[in-house]
Amino acid sequence: MRNLKLTIQYNGQNYCGWQKQPDSLGIQGTIEKAIYDITREEVKITGSGRTDAGVHALGQVANFKTSSNIPASKMPNALNAKLPKDISIIDCIEVDEDFHSRYSSKKKRYRYLIHNSPYRNPIYKDISYHVKYDLDFEKMCKEAKSLIGEYDFKGFMSSGSSVKDTIRTIYDITLTKEDGLIVMEVEGNGFLYNMVRIIAGTLVDIGRGRITKNLEEVIKSKNRGECGHTAPAHGLFLKKVDY
């Protein structure tokens, strides 16, 4: 069996998330259906991680085993012809049989878009979090740097996760702003459930003055209640997974 690695972009707006639900295929099931359409094989694809309902991807990774002999380089166009327009396969390569999209991943990079203006933006409305309040952008940038390093990010995890080891390393976080659009990018060795959205929400709450403690102290507290709100799903993009 060949092991194929896909790189996938999607607009998550109309999906229940990566994972199949009883009444909905999800991104995963939609791609599995397209694979069936071209190979007649009922495969299971493994994603680098689940994305929640509404979350987008610029570089999600998934792999699957197949006995089809369609060349990897032909896969993106073949699959895209069967997929809805809000999902796009942008790369396919053959990998070692022991490659696993989730367990083999070394680094992930996420992007979060915040539209900071009293008024709605008709271009970015479906892919950014609209924050109407004035945000102190300089302060957000300064505080964000405290996230870089290896910490116990227990406070930055939504309840409902069964994960025990809550230590993660953040390698990089950047915030840029142009025309009211704040682009946050964060890279780490892994992220807890809702961690990026809680980071975004915490930085918004810091920028708004609702959190007055230093972010360093907030991290140290390991307390979900000390962190900010969970920013909405539709501002989040899984940008890149490194192996």
Binding site for a copy of itself (CB under 8 A): 9-11, 56, 58, 76-77, 80, 85-90, 117-123, 125, 127, 179, 237, 239
Q: Which is nearer to a copy of itself, 115 or 168 (CB)?
A: 115
Q: What is the CA radius of gyration of the chain?
A: 19
Provide the minimum distance between the beta carbon of 239 and a copy of itself in the complex, in angstroms, as a whole number.
8
- Rounded to the nearest whole angstrom, what is the least distance from the CB of residue 153 to a copy of itself in the complex? 27
Q: How far lies 225's CA from each of 17, 157, 167, in Å?
A: 26, 11, 18
Minimum CB distance to a copy of itself, residue 144 (Å): 20
Cβ–Cβ under 8 Å, residues 170 and 147: yes
85 versus 164: smaller Cβ distance to a copy of itself? 85
Considering beta carbons, is residue 168 or 239 the nearer one to a copy of itself?
239
Q: How many CB atoms lie within 10 A of CB 5?
A: 20
Query: Minimum distance from CB of 125 to a copy of itself (Å)?
Result: 7
What SS3 class is residue 93? Answer: strand
Nearer to a copy of itself, 192 or 238 (CB): 238
Query: What are the catalytic residues?
Result: 52
Pairing of strands 181-188, 236-242: unpaired
110 marked as binding residue: yes
Buried b (16+ CB within 10 A) or exposed e, 73-107: eebbebbeebbeeebbbeebebbeeebebeebbee
| Known binding residues | 110
| Known binding residues for substrate | 110
